[in-house]
A and B are shown apart, each in its own frame.
Chain A
């Protein structure tokens, strides 16, 4: 994780990319890909509803996740890969993660690091949350709790990125179509928020969706198409900045709310930021349709106003570990999606 090389790195590692994508970016750079190739490899069509793409699949690659209730189950495989020089994305259970704000408090899984070395006693990871002075590296002495907490990890598998012609059909057009379908559901989230407020767990799930998927998709798509479609890249970056502001404001609100706050008033100031992001996405949708000369979407075509909220609820369950499942079950679910 090098501020001078990394995509979009301005003030910090979370500029532009999520912790997951920053990990994958590092793995791909180690394989020799340049920044445009990395952006094109990681860019996926925007999907606010989050159910159009198989989890962990990209247009030209995938992450192969191993998921266990207890990290001991796959510790040997994990450490053998890392020790042999295969970097692995690791999603630790923060309850067991040393020094984490959730250590010994709650089973919360929303952060990912890249495991890059293991010597039998110490696990070395690249971590967007690690001190910059340490090069965003942590050296973690392995204890039974650390092993227990290594319950989700993934290997990275990508083929070379696509050509410019494919960007329209595999990236921009699907984004335009999905955005037109999802904007009513995004507005429904705003109505629900105005009516019921937003609790801490839901707000955390929302920030994971925004910073983990929506904003990176916009940002990476902008970089991927900036030569072929410069005007659209500008619109994509504007929407990306609006999404980034929403995510950062939500994270700020968490600092006033506490880990499991049910005080919905804390998140009320963030609603206006959400609505500004919604407006930026609506502008992007209009521009995509205009510049790509796509048919004007029917605003009532989908009839699904709950799609985005369902994603937030799903994410809340996933991040709070309600759905930690044995690896076989997880893979069955993935195959069935």
Chain B
């Protein structure tokens, strides 16, 4: 069970709302590539969290190759948001 208010919960909710999302449920261990997440999705996802938390991510934070799973990505976003 994922806390809906956590960064992971918000990320999962976003991924589930994406058009063409191939699955009904998403967990932290799911691989981003298996979910068909690409660099275009990353551009929007990271911009979404930047705006929501008035944060400024580095260019390399947007690189899909830095993350394997949904959990990896959520942790990185968390680290940027909460220092």
Contact = CB atoms under 8 A, between A and B. Distances in A.
Interface stretch (B15-23, B26-34, B71-79): B15-23
Interface in A272-296: 272-273
* Band of interface residues on A: 10 to 19
Contact of A255 (B18, B52, B62): B18
Contacts of A11: 39
Contacts of A249: 43-44, 47
Contacts of A248: 39-40, 43
A255 B44 contact: yes
Interface of A (DSSP majority class): helix
Contacts, number: 46
Nearest to B51: A269
Interface in A124-164: none
Nearest to A259: B19
A258 B19 CA distance: 7
Contacts of A273: 43, 47
Nearest to A257: B19
Contacts of B44: 249, 252-253, 255-256, 269-270
Nearest to A271: B51
A237 to B, nearest CB: 14
B35 interface: no
A269 B14 CA distance: 13
29 contacts: A11-B39, A245-B43, A245-B62, A248-B39, A248-B40, A248-B43, A249-B44, A251-B40, A252-B40, A252-B41, A252-B42, A252-B44, A253-B44, A255-B18, A255-B19, A255-B41, A255-B44, A256-B14, A256-B18, A256-B19, A269-B44, A269-B47, A269-B51, A269-B52, A270-B44, A270-B47, A272-B50, A272-B51, A273-B43
Given A251-B43, A255-B40, 17 more contacts: A11-B39, A251-B40, A252-B40, A252-B41, A252-B43, A252-B45, A253-B44, A255-B20, A255-B41, A256-B14, A269-B51, A269-B52, A270-B44, A271-B51, A272-B47, A273-B43, A273-B47
Interface of B: 14, 17-20, 39-45, 47-48, 50-52, 62
Interface of A: 11, 245, 248-249, 251-253, 255-256, 258, 268-273
